[in-house]
């Protein structure tokens, strides 16, 4: 049943927990957009917000600055992404200390994309962490961090098979990961089959669905092709002929994402991670459709909007 035909969507609001992902801005205008988005979404009281991180620490300072400002000016729990691409263990550990000093206690630990780009071969640094499992162990050796890691309902594009992929997830969990956030997907049956595989492998941490609102279908389709996520035919058909109609695209995207989440709620899922692309309006509309209603902004939140 479509969400839009439900008589009381708010009845499900207490069954839904959300988190939001942002990326560090590259310009002053992008920084303004980012913090306007943080301010607009903060009233939904997310479990946490996360900020992404570039290969080899290429965005370390922007990520650190963004995390620091969110931590300083809001009441939001903030997680920093961390990768081990093109960096020694000593260099990664130094970055961890910097995040610790600004109050970060939650990391999203990722191996990271190859420095040559998606599709090229990953080469571990000679003195670095070879993969995300080793990075998780290094973080746990530093402090008892909360650690989220990635999961792939359609398997990681570099994994030869699901067994290899899930074995890597198990290694991350054995080393201390407490949550997995999935690559985005659009077929909920695919997610459900993946969770069944994971549970059969003895992995019992939360597998949080990563939800990607479709701001631009062409861009999402291209990115999906690079990272091994499939685009169902029915989904592509929903956006046919709308290349020059951004308003209608947004309406359809909000309804589709909200329906996807509500279907997952009916299957027993309650936690959702939204890839915001630093744009609040569509994510805000989706959360509203789901019956979520935000608290009034606190003083710290207002400081972000006024900055």
Enumerate the active-site residues: 21
Cα(255)–Cα(271) distance, integer angstroms: 19
User: 179: closest CA among 207, 210, 152, 211?
Assistant: 207
Nearest alpha carbon to residue 49 among 74, 17, 20, 28: 20
CA diameter of the chain = 59
Local structure of residue 296 (DSSP, 8 states): P
Which of 98, 34, 39 is CA-nearest to residue 66?
Answer: 34
Neighbour-count burial of 3, counting CB atoms closer than 10 A to its CB (0-12 exposed, 13-18 middle, 19+ buried): buried
Cα–Cα distance measured from residue 261 to residue 46, given in angstroms and rounded to the nearest whole number: 16
């Amino acid at each position: 049943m479509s969400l839009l035909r439900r008589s009381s969507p708010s009845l499900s609001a207490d069954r839904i927990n959300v988190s939001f992902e942002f990326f560090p801005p590259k310009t002053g205008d992008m920084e303004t957009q980012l913090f306007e988005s943080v301010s607009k979404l903060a009233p939904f009281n997310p479990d946490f917000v996360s900020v992404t991180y570039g290969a080899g620490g290429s965005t370390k300072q922007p990520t650190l600055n963004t995390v620091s400002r969110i931590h300083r000016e809001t009441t939001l729990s903030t997680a920093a992404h961390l990768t081990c691409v093109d960096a020694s263990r000593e260099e990664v550990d130094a970055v961890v200390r910097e995040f610790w000093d600004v109050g970060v206690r939650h990391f999203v630990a990722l191996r990271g994309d190859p420095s040559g780009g998606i599709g090229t071969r990953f080469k571990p640094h000679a003195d670095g962490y070879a993969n995300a499992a080793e990075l998780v162990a290094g973080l746990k050796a530093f402090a008892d961090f909360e650690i989220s890691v990635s999961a792939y309902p359609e398997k990681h594009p570099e994994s030869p098979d699901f067994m290899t992929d899930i074995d890597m997830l198990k290694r991350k969990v054995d080393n201390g990961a407490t949550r997995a956030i999935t690559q985005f997907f659009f077929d909920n049956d695919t997610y459900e089959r993946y969770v069944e595989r994971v549970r059969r492998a003895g992995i019992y941490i939360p597998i949080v669905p990563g939800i990607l609102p479709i701001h631009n279908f062409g861009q999402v389709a291209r990115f999906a092709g690079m990272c091994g996520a499939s685009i169902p035919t029915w989904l592509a058909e929903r956006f046919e002929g709308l290349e020059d109609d951004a308003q209608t695209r947004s309406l359809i995207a909000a309804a589709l994402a909200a329906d996807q989440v509500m279907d997952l709620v009916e299957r027993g899922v309650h936690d959702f991670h939204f890839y915001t692309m630093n744009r609040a309006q569509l994510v805000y509309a989706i959360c509203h459709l789901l019956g979520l209603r935000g608290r009034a902004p606190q003083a710290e939140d207002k400081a972000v909007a006024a900055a």
